[in-house]
Structure 1
Amino acid sequence: MGESLTGFRTERPLPAPGEQRSALAEQRGAEPRRAAGVPERRGSIGTQRDGRPGPAEGHEAVMLLDRARAEVDPVLRAALDSLPGPMRRIALYHFGWEQADGTPAEGGSGKAIRPALVLAAAAALGGPEARLGAVRAAAAVELVHNFTLLHDDVMDRDATRRHRPTAWTVFGDADAILGGDALQALALRLLATDPHPAARAAAARLADCVVELCAGQHADTALERCDPGEVTLEEVLAMAEAKTGALLGSACAIGGLYAGAGDADVAALDAFGREAGLAFQLIDDVIGIWGDPHRTGKPVGADLAARKKSLPVVAAFTSGTPAAAELADLYARPCEKEDLDHIALTVERAGGRDWAQGQAADRMARAMQQLARAVPDPEAAGGLLALAEFVTRRSS
């Protein structure tokens, strides 16, 4: 394996979708493959402004996400309609189904990645009947995801999400936090009232996941108070696994539970989701710095303006290059909008972008190994693989 000019090991680009399917068949019992070669810097997948996959997307992923949204949305809407008026208004606005004044809206409610993972995992191990039985659990996972988004937006002071103002900017901090609390309660109620025999185990797993999510968010805010030189890649990767990988892992594991899978298969599905989740976060952090705001729905350079210690930034800080020292100096200064392009270029010169994209390829290789353990048949694993390809091959 070669060394880049920045001192980081360069990594192979993410495999093309067809290559990932053949690689999955080879992964049974194999060690994770390291990537080699400088990865592409341009995402191969786009999304529409409503958050749904664009025409460049793999057809299977489009079908899975659309189907998951069609199956889960009625359960979500029924759950939200059960909320008291003020909480319902906040939740419906956040999901994009109402305007701030309560009139109907046409906005998208997200990509439905996590509920699609629940349903795909159930189908992979239990077939169509298991998938149908897991719809309530998939809705619960989506409610937990949106609970975290409402709280994260308040803590991060993000002003836009899904191309519209965030809930806290419209209703205030307190109402947005309470709206998030209500979504978490709805998620647990969905599982508590689900007659499926796996519902109790799923509720316990989802509750454990929420605790891990909170610990990850706490670590994130604590790291923001540290000087750049005090933060290690290991700390940031652990934080990212808790914040992002944990819920994707739980989604896959809950799908396995609803399919009646054994402990070993459920654990492998959880590991698959966690590795894919880390790949997702790595790409998300790249998009947070270099993404197109017309696609992302967020201001350009928002992460840099907030001086977030995202994975590419920490990789750049720890590269030991002259650009790393320059970046530390830039991060120590007050934020000026005109400096954002220069900061992004400095992160890139220090190797942060290449490292993050290479790590995403490596995490996907590990994810495929775990998926092969849980679902040895590549055809049965196809839905989960298509979704993993989606989350790691996107530009917004």
Structure 2
Amino acid sequence: MSRAARTAPLAPEAALTTPRHPFTRPPADTARAGAVLARCRALTHPALVDAVAQLDPWTGRMAAYALGWRDPGGAPDPTGSGGKGLRQALAVLSAEAVGASGTTALPAAVAVELVHTFSLLHDDIMDGDPLRRRRPAVWRAYGVGPAVLAGDALHALAVQTLAEAPGERAPAAVRHLSRTLTALVRGQADDLRFEELPWTGPDAPGLAAYRAMAEQKTGVLLGCAAALGAELGGAPGATVTALDRAGRHLGIAFQAVDDLLGIWGDPALTGKPVHSDLRQRKKTFPLLAALAGAGPARRELAALLDSVEPLEGARAAHAAALVDEAGGRAATRAEASTHLEAARACLAATRPAPAAARDLDALVGSLLDRAW
């Protein structure tokens, strides 16, 4: 199978018709999922620290701040957060799923975590978001120019880390990461262009276009994480492909849940203000799904979104209620569930090692109702 075939875009209709697979074992084991993430973070952290130590002191300080280790002045910050580490966990678990040690995947785990951090850093600049994980975003703490430079440094370090991985599969892994980086740029470009499109009418983005954007912006990196773990673990091409596609489905589901949290999430857990996506009028799945329907709630929501008045306070709360009434919340949960089910089927097709299968199943099962 060609490398290009391994990263072919998902066909949305295929995901919608994926049958239920016995890999599913509800209800979600959130305690196990948390323990799995913690184990993978602990395994990856020393290698991540070693990688960041290769940067010059200035960009290294900004990187350590972005990763939640340090405060803006460079002192240890016990209140900082580096996130849950989903991508590094997928790399580790995919290596274990194909019978390799989790340590085999460390260059992949570090690389995808660095890419994720760089993408968040640049994303905050483009969106003008002042906060990330309840702290000032890097651009607010250090300035736009330094933040751009820190992101570039993380990008370059990710490629270097993977290129220096031992074994004959490193070149293939670097090629996969390079394709992923190109796809990430495309997804971010589509996301930015969406903001210039109207909410309704023939030029409005539909759900299929949003799904394709979410795959590029979020899904490809999760797919890459899973694929790289298997690649460095010596898995055959068909297994690498299946794990890549599982990660892509997980990414679309993750983005859908992220969209729910952007409207209804708890600020204490998400680190974002309540109704943050509504206030910014971001074209997210719940809004597009609500606008794709019919009825008075849909019409009132469209009028609110087209209004020049700010969506703040009671107006934002009312808009959120209209999205719910028009079916946007239910449609988004259904979208996430569909892609989680598709991810489970892809994972099951690889016949993963039993312990890794249990860990992956717990992780997948925790994503629909996550609060972070």
TM-score, normalised on structure 2?
Answer: 0.89
- 2: CA distance between counterparts of 1:373 and 1:70? 29
* Shift, 1:382, TM fit: 1.8
User: Partner residue of 2:321?
Assistant: 345
- 2: CA distance between counterparts of 1:80 and 1:380? 28
| C-alpha contact (below 8 Å) 1:245/1:273 kept by paired residues | yes
* Shift, 1:60, TM fit: 2.5
User: Partner residue of 2:366?
Assistant: 390
2:78 equivalent to 1:102:
no
After superposition, the Cα gap between the structure-2 partners of 1:377 and 1:24, relative to the gap in structure 1 and judged at 3 Å, is farther
- 2: CA distance between counterparts of 1:324 and 1:258? 49
User: Partner residue of 2:310?
Assistant: 335
2:229 equivalent to 1:255:
yes
**One-letter code aligned to 2:81:** G
- 1: CA distance between counterparts of 2:365 and 2:278? 27
* Shift, 1:256, TM fit: 1.1
Correspondence list, 1:115-194, <5 A: 115-128=88-101, 131-194=102-165
Higher RCO, Cα 8 Å, sep 6+? 1
- 1: CA distance between counterparts of 2:90 and 2:353? 17
- 2: CA distance between counterparts of 1:213 and 1:94? 19
Unaligned 5+ runs, structure 2: 1-19
Of 86-95 and 112-121, deviating more is 86-95
**Matched residue SS, 1:359:** helix
| C-alpha contact (below 8 Å) 2:98/2:353 kept by paired residues | no
* Shift, 1:362, TM fit: 1.2
Of 265-274 and 372-381, deviating more is 372-381
- 2: CA distance between counterparts of 1:376 and 1:85? 41
- 1: CA distance between counterparts of 2:353 and 2:140? 47
Of 217-226 and 337-346, deviating more is 337-346
- 1: CA distance between counterparts of 2:327 and 2:24? 32
| C-alpha contact (below 8 Å) 1:81/1:88 kept by paired residues | yes
| C-alpha contact (below 8 Å) 1:282/1:311 kept by paired residues | yes
Q: Decide which of 194, 198, 202 is 1:227's aligned counterpart.
A: 198
Of 222-231 and 79-88, deviating more is 79-88
**Matched residue SS, 2:108:** helix
* Shift, 1:73, TM fit: 1.2
**One-letter code aligned to 1:109:** G
- 2: CA distance between counterparts of 1:59 and 1:342? 35
Of 74-83 and 354-363, deviating more is 74-83
* Shift, 1:378, TM fit: 5.6
| C-alpha contact (below 8 Å) 2:85/2:113 kept by paired residues | yes
* Shift, 1:81, TM fit: 1.8
Name segments (4+ residues, structure 1) moved above 4 Å.
Answer: 376-380
Q: Decide which of 175, 187, 203 is 1:204's aligned counterpart.
A: 175
**One-letter code aligned to 1:270:** D
2:354 equivalent to 1:354:
no
* Shift, 1:379, TM fit: 5.1
2:32 equivalent to 1:64:
no
| C-alpha contact (below 8 Å) 2:47/2:110 kept by paired residues | yes
**Matched residue SS, 1:64:** helix
Identical-residue share of aligned pairs (%): 41
1:335-382 CA distances to partner (integer Å, 9 max, x unpaired)? Answer: 241211011111111110000001111111111111111126665422
**Matched residue SS, 1:381:** helix
- 1: CA distance between counterparts of 2:267 and 2:332? 20
| C-alpha contact (below 8 Å) 2:121/2:138 kept by paired residues | yes
* Alignment coverage as a number of residue pairs: 346
**Matched residue SS, 1:228:** coil
- 2: CA distance between counterparts of 1:69 and 1:367? 22
1:220-242 CA distances to partner (integer Å, 9 max, x unpaired)? Answer: 00011000111111110100011
TM-score, normalised on structure 1?
Answer: 0.84
2:211 equivalent to 1:237:
yes
- 2: CA distance between counterparts of 1:309 and 1:342? 17
- 2: CA distance between counterparts of 1:203 and 1:58? 33
Of 264-273 and 328-337, deviating more is 328-337
- 2: CA distance between counterparts of 1:233 and 1:172? 36
| C-alpha contact (below 8 Å) 1:209/1:246 kept by paired residues | yes
